[in-house]
Structure 1
Amino acid sequence: MIAREPTLARLAIAEQALLEPYDLSPARLRQALGEILSHGVDDADLYFQTTRSEGWSLEEGIVKTGSFSIDQGVGVRAVSGEKTAFAYSDDLSWASLLDAAHTVRTISGQGQSRRVRTPASKVSRSRSLYPGTDPIGSLDSSAKVALLEQVERLAKAADPRIVQVMAGLAAEHDVVLVA
């Protein structure tokens, strides 16, 4: 049997990473979807994502490169009949989300008037395929450099013919929320 607890735990992580820092809430997401659907749009969704990535490389016994990046944003989609409209913002503020919602709702057909009810939020059952740990935060920078140096030592110790070792360490942490 598939339990709801992993789903609720992941939902809490997504809300903490994508909504709370920007003063967003599930109620505000419902409000944004309602803004879109109130203009005769058949369907709409919000796709939030934040991606943090880090990379280290060791060459000739020296850490030659290190990089870190953060990308985040929200995609808004509206479907009306056979038409689809998209809007995107890398600003996760309420004003930007509402602006994107107003942009995509213009896809609705002219002259249509009908009532659309926004469905209540529903958490579906799932199973946990990946641990909820952040690989970037699992080791500090000095531990990551020490790990690369250890890889170099182990490689050179494995065979005396090995004179140069190039090693890399990369991690990425994605959090996604779809409403």
Structure 2
Amino acid sequence: MDRDFSIREIGPDEFERAWPIFREVLARGESYNYAADLNLDGARAMWTSPPYRMFLAEADGGEALGCYKLGPNQRGRGDHVANASYMVAEAAWGQGVGTALCEHSLTQARKAGFLAMQFNYVVSTNAAAVHLWSKHGFAIVGRVPEAFRHPTLGLVDIYVMHRML
């Protein structure tokens, strides 16, 4: 890791700190099925409205490096399984931010009483994410053929990944 950073929970009032990371990820179009025209208010609602909680990784100087949201994968009888989504600023790639966010989210999910965590939509060509989740005990439990329109590769598969907590 090249620099020190911390991870803390943020609310809707601080979402703008993560918005540049969202814009970067949306512009690349390689890992999320969000609409390209998703705006700040829409993203804020998706990531900070209950039952979701949002966490921000920030450098000691205050620079936003990455973020994640955590909440139930499903409501009702499926709410014991967590779901999380992660984004890391491109400038922070390779510095341990994604690993730290994953480990932090697993701890937060356990503290919240979740029994497992499931990722419903991991783009198969996102090798860094697939490698990171696998390293942290997630297994590919499903594959959906050609479910994502990659901007340069065309139709690619997505994975469902899962692990017990």
Question: For the superposition of Structure 1 and Structure 2, which TM-score range results when normalised by the shorter chain?
Answer: under 0.3
More strand by share: 2
Of structures 1 and 2, the larger Rg is shown by 1
